[in-house]
Amino acid sequence: MVDSYKDLYHNYTWQIPDTFNIAEAICDRHALGNDTALVYEDDHGHVSRYTFRDLQRLSNRLANAYTHLGIQKGDRVGILLSQQPETLIAHLAGFKVGAVNIPLFTLFGPEALEYRLNNSEAKLVLAESAQLDKIIEIKDRLAHLESIICIGRSGDLGQNIISFSDTVENASDEFKTVQSSPEDPALIIYTSGTTGPPKGALHAHRVLLGHLPGVEVSHNFFPQSGDFFWTPADWAWIGGLIDVLFPSLYHKVPVLACRLKKFDPDEALKLMARHGVRNVFLPPTALKMIRAASDPENCRNLNLRTLASGGEQLGEEILEWGRNRLGLEINEFYGQTEANLLVSNCSQIMPVKPGSMGRAVPGHRVAVIDRDGKELAAGQEGEVAVRRPDPVMFLGYWRKPDATSDKFIGEWMTTGDTGTMDEEGYFFFKGRNDDVITCSGYRIGPSEVEDCLLRHPAVSLSAVIGKPDAVRGQIVKAFIVLREGRQASEELKKDIQNFVKTRLAAHEYPREVEFINEIPLTVTGKVKRMDLRDMEEKRMQKNLD
């Protein structure tokens, strides 16, 4: 066991083989024994278990069906499924034939699906029966779509729609996986599209290898004996798919699958306790919801070894709650769809600093740079960037070479996030380039204000934006969801403002506070500050008119 971050970082070397296929790495090479790979609890509480050998046979059958349908190396396959065994089987089958898989979120509407399927020129889509009507609605507008495989129905479905169960039952369970280079395309994961049309981040098979050190350090030297992983994050997103599912199976660690139709803090805690989950990735929004609304008794029933979180800054309030209520240190990590798990805490070998998202993960060269690509000194604010080549880095945006080029300054891939790095190499997130607030010459990161707001006993969730102001340039405005039983009032507004003013800084307190019922979030749980800014701009324009 390494006991020094510096030794681990400086001695780390990538081991990238000449050939690498994700399906072979996470399934086939483990299929000789009878080890459990997946535990699935369905909507009715029924639990089923799949060994690596089960998954190999089922994915081989589906790969044969893909071949029969004309799917060849490089063809795109849409996967409109939630956390369930068929999702993993579909990914494995796609990798085996050399296809490029496109994870699709089941809460997407027809327009979102139409854009992604047309943009990727998907030839085949797999969809659960509850999603089938969406695909049928847009089917005539999808010029490249040839076949649909439906999960949950059997028999003759017509309209080039094939039953998954019938297909898998009738196909051979022998299949020879195509030989893949680590650089061969494997996945297109579309960005959430909060700043314009979504872009497809094209990833190679090597992306799994690039994720491994980040998973290992954020979960305190994962894997350990008895580890068992779950996340509420949907497998349609990089956080659920390549932060949890694929790396766990690579290390022969079983994964729990359960689709929670809506995240319920107590149900999530009961699920983890019921199955003895040892490792969990909880997005910040999920953590905040558990802190605000969960039954303390359900927290005491957990048997977690590690808890990691990323996507939004946590802040000291949540970290302290994790220590006191859950009895463990939450390891915060950082990355994005284009290059994920770049920075992380690892409480086993380094202290967790409040407000920091950790140090550079071994194998990745991460820095804070200026607009010319020059590395900045400790304490100087700039843009967080990662240097290429790096196995976790995307190949580029799908058929958007200009957008890909714009992502780089020389050899640095920029993240669009501002931050600083201290003398010990800890990174501190300031905000998205378009989220940082400039008030009377001061630069204010919204996350810091949101963290302070969470400490107020009346606040459940919060989001902070910069509102245009004629005198100060911008002022801080806070949107707040109150805890159950608390009533909005002018007196409470003033109390919250004074709370921030006295605990954070006089120039950072929210000069405006608005109580709302719900914070707008992306499908991955990040605050959609852009929506709040747009709403404010429309209000201001209406007042001018």
Q: Report pLDDT digits (tens) over 211-233.
A: 999 999 999 999 999 999 999 99
Identify any residues that bridge with 375 across adjacent strands, giving them in sequence order: 369
**Per-residue model confidence (pLDDT) at position 195:** 44
pTM confidence score: 0.84
Pair of tokens at residue 145: 């779509």
**Per-residue model confidence (pLDDT) at position 194:** 40
The set of residues, in sequence order, having a beta carbon less than 8 Å from that of 523 and lying 6+ positions away, is 105, 107, 108, 192, 234, 236, 237
Please work out, in degrees rounded to the nearest 5, the angle formed at the alpha carbon of residue 281 by the alpha carbons of 277 and 287. Answer: 100
The set of residues, in sequence order, having a beta carbon less than 8 Å from that of 8 and lying 6+ positions away, is 2, 217, 349, 362
Count the neighbouring beta carbons within 10 Å of the beta carbon of residue 327: 11
**What spatial distance separates the first Cα and last Cα of the chain, rounded to whole Å?**
66
For residues 12 and 77, give the distance between their C-alpha atoms in angstroms, rounded to a whole number.
35
Distance (Å) of CA 65 to CA 3, 120, 152, 294: 49, 21, 17, 45
3-state secondary structure of 334: strand
For residues 544 and 522, give the distance between their C-alpha atoms in angstroms, rounded to a whole number.
30
Distance (Å) of CA 279 to CA 205, 224, 267, 288: 25, 10, 17, 18
Closest CA to 319 of 288, 278, 292, 281: 288
3-state secondary structure 432-443: ECCCCEEECCEE
Residues of the chain with pLDDT under 50: 193-196
Identify any residues that bridge with 481 across adjacent strands, giving them in sequence order: 461
Phi/psi class of residue 433: alpha, beta or left (left: φ > 0; alpha: ψ in -120 to 50)?
Answer: alpha
Contact, 211 vs 402, CB < 8 A?
A: no
**Per-residue model confidence (pLDDT) at position 461:** 92
Closest CA to 353 of 385, 382, 313, 316: 316
Q: Report pLDDT digits (tens) over 302-351.
A: 999 999 998 777 878 889 999 999 999 999 999 999 999 999 999 999 99
Pair of tokens at residue 339: 């290059």
Pair of tokens at residue 231: 């996340």
**Per-residue model confidence (pLDDT) at position 382:** 95
* Helix-then-strand count for the chain, H and E: 18, 27
3-state secondary structure of 120: helix
Domains and CATH numbers, the chain: 16-205 (3.40.50.12780), 434-544 (3.30.300.30)
**Per-residue model confidence (pLDDT) at position 192:** 59
For residues 287 and 454, give the distance between their C-alpha atoms in angstroms, rounded to a whole number.
12
Contact, 79 vs 116, CB < 8 A?
A: no
For residues 354 and 374, give the distance between their C-alpha atoms in angstroms, rounded to a whole number.
27
Closest CA to 145 of 179, 176, 114: 114
Question: What is the chain's alpha carbon radius of gyration, rounded to the nearest angstrom?
Answer: 23
